[in-house]
A and B are shown apart, each in its own frame.
Chain A
Amino acid sequence: MSDQGAGDAGSPWVKAQTAVIDETVNGLRRMARLPQLWQHAQRVKKGATPSEVVYEEDRLKLLHYLTDKPRKFSTPLVFVFALVNRPYILDLLPGKSVVGHFLQAGFDTYLIDWGVPTHADRHRTLDSYVNGYMVNVMEQVAERTGSRQVNILGYCMGGTMSAMFTALHPQRVKNLILLAAGIDFATRDGLLNVWTDPHTFDVDAFVDAFGNCPPEFLQASFLMLKPVANFIEKPINLIEHAADDKFVDDYFTMETWLNDNVAVPGEVYREFVKYLYQQNLLVKNQLTVGRHLVNLKRITCPILNLMASKDDLVPCAQSEPFNDLVGSTDRKSLKLEAGHIGLAVGSRAQRELWPQACKWLSHRSVTGPSRRKLNQI
């Protein structure tokens, strides 16, 4: 009798029925949790690591991260974030913090928060940021730490700006890490590259009419890159995991950041679209920032180029050519199977990418006779 019962339980028909009942119960449990979702949405925290503001200029704030860990390296690390979102994605949650990795590794870590531009900032150009704010920030960091050079980690648009900064001020940068940074815009892999085609998008008329590039416009563009994933799959995913508190907390933290877009100063947006997306001047060494020509060959410091193979915002084809365009001999690329944001906060990135990046930077921050041996890494 019992043998027969066991046989029945293992049959596909019984399995299927059990699975349907389980799924129904889980569905009811999820539905019961739905009213509580707003509570999760209320308790979203921005930033995991304590920090202090050490420098301010206009809307810019330079954050210095505080840690109990001893400082192992004299050269500080400065994070340069993009102008399109808020920078706390780099320090989102405990265990999902890029900043945390570098603090653990013993780096004195700073982050540039560009702030939220208003209409008064619409005339700010790449020159204002690269030759203005960034120079001042690096000088401030140098004054505070006594180190004449800094390590720079630039993310997305901040990576492109970091590359420009390093080319214009090579003596100030010891090591450069680019994270999903657009350099060669000739590719048509990404939809943004297709949409910004000069025949389709008149950036001059747009900036003349709107001033700054509105955050809603940017947000809509980013969401439209993957409409099915963003508008259908993501909400379904939330409902399916409504009973999982950790998932829901992470989801709302992420969504808060994703919807926390800021306007891009009009002239910066015009320069970025026209000279990079449409004319691709950076790789041709024809881009002028202010009155200074950006020649990527002037970058001679060690380079680490980090990319995501599933990046729909900055496809690999946009970042990959960088290593061949610079004058550095010490250059390395790491590609992770992740998306644009997964590169910063994804669990695989935390496990595999950032420990490697920290190791890479640590070895290049060591001074003395052992440096040559360590450069092999």
Chain B
Amino acid sequence: MMTEHEDTNQDGADSFSQNAQMFAKFWTDFATKMAAAGFAAAPGSTPPDATRQVRAAIFKAMGEACDEFMRSVQFQEMMKQSLANAVQFRKQLNEWLGQMHHEFQGTTRQDVDQMMQVMEHLERRMADGFDRLSARLDGLEKRQSRSARPVPSPHNEPRRSRGKARQRSKS
């Protein structure tokens, strides 16, 4: 009868064996492609041309192997770990810099971000309010225009404040 501990060991061994197989397959494929590249030169071509052809075949084989590797679960797992570490480091750095700024009675990036979020929230609420007013205005215009000619409404599209138009300034 197998215990739970033995089960885990078995799973670990299977996983190791699977990874080893994939590792071996990857490198065998790569070696095969590289070896095939040695025969890539067309017969009768001059040494410089033959070298170029072999080189191109080697690069092609390397490129294909890289692509295959970068699609593999192992690479993705590695990338995930690297990104997680980078994010963690950045967070710690942000916190440390923030604390330092606060000690000097300064404003941190996080403070500005929070302010921005409050403003975004306010903007959203105001935009919602304007939309409600627009809808009411549209309703009123429609009611009014039943007897008169219809007036095109400028309130249908989302719009923001505009920038400034420039006269000729060549770049």
* A145 CB to nearest chain B CB (Å): 13
B71: A residues at CB distance < 8 A: 191, 194
B1 at the interface (CB under 8 A from A): no
A/B pair count, beta carbons within 8 Å = 130
* B120 CB to nearest chain A CB (Å): 6
- Given A16-B47, A191-B67, A205-B87: A55 in contact with B164 (beta carbons within 8 A): yes
Question: Which of the residues A12, A55, A139 comes within 8 Å of B44, measured between beta carbons?
Answer: A12
- Give the bracket for the number of chain A residues in contact with chain B: 35 or more
Contact (Cβ within 8 A) A136 B162? yes
A120: B residues at CB distance < 8 A: 112
Complex-state Cα separation, A76 to B21, whole angstroms = 60
* B49 CB to nearest chain A CB (Å): 7
| Bitwise interface map of B from 131 to 151 toward A, beta carbon under 8 Å scored 1, else 0 | 100000000000000000000
A56 at the interface (CB under 8 A from B): yes
- Given A51-B171, A169-B157, A210-B90: A227 in contact with B163 (beta carbons within 8 A): no
A281: B residues at CB distance < 8 A: none
Contact (Cβ within 8 A) A60 B166? no
Contact (Cβ within 8 A) A135 B76? no
Q: Which of B6-14, B23-31, B58-66, B97-105 contacts A (4 or more CB under 8 A)?
A: B58-66
* A18 CB to nearest chain B CB (Å): 8
Interface residues of A in 253-277 (CB under 8 A from B): none
- Given A135-B158, A191-B67: A55 in contact with B166 (beta carbons within 8 A): yes
- Given A201-B80, A210-B90: A57 in contact with B162 (beta carbons within 8 A): yes
Contact (Cβ within 8 A) B168 A52? yes
Question: Which of the residues A20, A47, A202 comes within 8 Å of B87, measured between beta carbons?
Answer: A202
- Given A60-B163, A139-B162: A206 in contact with B87 (beta carbons within 8 A): yes
B113: A residues at CB distance < 8 A: 122-123, 211
The B contact surface, by secondary structure, is helix
* A136 CB to nearest chain B CB (Å): 5
- Give the bracket for the number of chain B residues in contact with chain A: 35 or more
B165 at the interface (CB under 8 A from A): yes
Contact (Cβ within 8 A) B83 A202? yes
B46 at the interface (CB under 8 A from A): yes
- Closest-by-CB residue of A relative to B56 is A233
Contact (Cβ within 8 A) B164 A16? no
Contact (Cβ within 8 A) A209 B80? no
Complex-state Cα separation, A372 to B17, whole angstroms = 67
B5 at the interface (CB under 8 A from A): no
Complex-state Cα separation, A139 to B165, whole angstroms = 11
The A contact surface, by secondary structure, is helix
A119 at the interface (CB under 8 A from B): yes
| Bitwise interface map of A from 57 to 96 toward B, beta carbon under 8 Å scored 1, else 0 | 1101101001000000000000000000000000000000
A377 at the interface (CB under 8 A from B): no
- Closest-by-CB residue of B relative to A227 is B66
B66: A residues at CB distance < 8 A: 227-228
Contact (Cβ within 8 A) B163 A58? yes
Contact (Cβ within 8 A) B164 A123? no
A279: B residues at CB distance < 8 A: none
- Closest-by-CB residue of B relative to A50 is B170
- Closest-by-CB residue of B relative to A131 is B158
A187: B residues at CB distance < 8 A: none
A293 at the interface (CB under 8 A from B): no
A208: B residues at CB distance < 8 A: 91
Contact (Cβ within 8 A) B87 A54? no
Complex-state Cα separation, A229 to B169, whole angstroms = 41
B46: A residues at CB distance < 8 A: 15-16, 18-20
B170: A residues at CB distance < 8 A: 50-52, 66
A292 at the interface (CB under 8 A from B): yes
B19 at the interface (CB under 8 A from A): no
B48: A residues at CB distance < 8 A: 19-20, 22-23
A140 at the interface (CB under 8 A from B): yes
Complex-state Cα separation, A15 to B165, whole angstroms = 67
Complex-state Cα separation, A210 to B83, whole angstroms = 11
- Closest-by-CB residue of A relative to B55 is A236
- Closest-by-CB residue of A relative to B51 is A23
| Bitwise interface map of A from 129 to 167 toward B, beta carbon under 8 Å scored 1, else 0 | 001110110011001100000000000000000000000
Contact (Cβ within 8 A) A135 B171? no
A200: B residues at CB distance < 8 A: 76, 79-80
Given contacts A191-B67, A292-B158, 14 further A-B contacts (CB under 8 A): A20-B48, A23-B47, A47-B171, A57-B164, A63-B171, A120-B112, A122-B116, A123-B113, A194-B70, A200-B80, A206-B87, A209-B87, A209-B90, A228-B63
Rank and list the top 7 A-B pairs by shortest CB-CB distance, nearest first. Answer: A57-B163, A19-B46, A132-B160, A23-B48, A131-B158, A228-B63, A209-B90
Show the binding face of B for A, using Cβ within 8 Å.
44, 46-49, 59, 62-63, 66-67, 70-71, 76, 79-80, 83-84, 86-87, 90-91, 94, 109, 112-113, 116-117, 120, 127, 131, 157-160, 162-166, 168-171
Give me 7 A-to-B residue pairs in the complex whose CB atoms sit less than 8 angstroms apart, sorted by A's number: A15-B46, A135-B159, A140-B162, A194-B71, A205-B87, A227-B63, A228-B66
